[in-house]
């Protein structure tokens, strides 16, 4: 079975030919080309929400931190490699407080505004998935990544920064389903956004803390996925599934053995510090 990837200029003509010879045709959407990318098919970022809608959603989010909680806001859910995960009550909750890492002591403190201290390094809005990803990278790898509006946008970042030297370095990414490089410990799994579902409006990010390709599982650590206590409170929040078909890896938001996960979402890919041996640019 042959599939043709066609561009806009030739789409009508080739589709006509395909109909005549009964050949199946795959019509390609526009994709994004970034350096150090393993795989293909990275979709463009979504357009930003209108400012009025952003303000409305933000106000709703601030009012969602005290009711309908899966677990009480701020409750410890688990810990992986020194990075503690806390409950955000429910996925849409946003509390305007920010965490900072003390580069001298390694302690983390929360503030309502920037404390303006040189030894405190910004992590993120407390108990959000992005905050946890930065926290794990900072505490374990001494690196961080830049500002984004939504978790799914992490996959499009081109550089990270060392929090000790302030030096920048390139990031690489693997595209789910077409990647030849399997996720490794420390990689960030990036979920796609779905604006039709409030919990997935911004996507999601989780840290890979263990990989078992033989069993077909990834153990991840995170905040603000379902805000329930972690399955293994000392090591990881949950396990998801990984498959290899031919030379390509696919990661699904399914627990081992699970066939349907109606509350889950699609995974776009995974991102990591660039090393020549890790990618096929």
Q: Give the three-state DSSP class for 124.
A: strand
The verdict on residue 25 lying in a domain is no
Q: State the pLDDT at residue 256.
A: 97
Q: Give the total number of structural domains in the chain.
A: 1
CATH number at residue 259: 3.90.1720.10
Query: Which residues touch 200 (CB under 8 Å, ≥6 apart)?
Result: 191, 192, 193, 194, 265
The verdict on residue 226 lying in a domain is yes
Q: State the pLDDT at residue 15.
A: 33
Distances (CA, A) of 40 to 31, 173, 202, 210, 239: 8, 10, 22, 25, 25
Q: State the pLDDT at residue 227.
A: 98
**Predicted TM-score (pTM) of this structure:** 0.88
Q: State the pLDDT at residue 29.
A: 63
Backbone angles phi, psi at 61, to 5 degrees: -65, -40
Show the domain range for 269.
Answer: 31-278
* Type and span of the H or E element at 2: none
The verdict on residue 266 lying in a domain is yes
The verdict on residue 1 lying in a domain is no
| Range in 18-22, 69-73, 217-221 the model is least confident about | 18-22
The verdict on residue 26 lying in a domain is no
pLDDT tens digits, residue range 117-167?
A: 999 999 999 999 999 999 999 999 999 999 999 999 999 999 999 999 999
Distances (CA, A) of 242 to 80, 207, 252, 261: 21, 15, 6, 15
Contact between 77 and 230 (Cβ < 8 Å): yes
Q: Give the three-state DSSP class for 271.
A: strand
The C-alpha atoms of residue 159 and residue 166 are separated, in whole angstroms, by 12
């Amino acid at each position: 079975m042959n599939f043709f990837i066609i561009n806009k200029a030739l789409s009508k003509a080739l589709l006509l030919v395909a109909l005549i010879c009964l050949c199946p045709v795959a019509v390609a959407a526009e994709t994004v080309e970034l350096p150090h990318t393993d795989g293909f098919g990275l979709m463009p970022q979504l357009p930003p929400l209108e400012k009025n809608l952003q303000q409305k959603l933000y106000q709703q989010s601030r009012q969602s931190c005290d009711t309908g909680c899966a677990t009480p806001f701020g409750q410890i859910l688990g810990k992986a490699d020194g990075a503690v995960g806390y409950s955000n009550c429910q996925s849409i909750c946003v509390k305007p407080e920010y965490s900072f890492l003390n580069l001298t002591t390694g302690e983390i403190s929360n503030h309502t505004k920037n404390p303006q201290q040189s030894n405190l390094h910004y992590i993120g809005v407390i108990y959000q998935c992005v905050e946890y990803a930065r926290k794990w990278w900072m505490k374990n790898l001494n690196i961080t990544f830049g500002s984004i509006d939504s978790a799914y946008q992490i996959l499009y970042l081109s550089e990270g920064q060392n929090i000790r030297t302030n030096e920048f370095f390139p990031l690489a990414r693997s595209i789910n389903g077409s990647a030849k490089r399997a996720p490794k410990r420390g990689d960030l799994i990036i979920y796609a956004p779905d604006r039709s579902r409030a919990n997935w409006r911004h996507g999601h990010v989780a840290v890979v803390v263990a990989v078992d390709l033989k069993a077909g599982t990834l153990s991840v650590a995170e905040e603000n996925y379902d805000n329930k206590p972690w399955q293994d409170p000392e090591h990881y929040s949950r396990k998801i599934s990984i498959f290899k078909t031919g030379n390509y890896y696919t990661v699904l938001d399914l627990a081992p053995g699970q066939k349907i996960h109606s509350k889950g979402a699609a995974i776009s890919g995974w991102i990591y510090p660039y090393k020549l041996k890790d990618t096929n640019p």
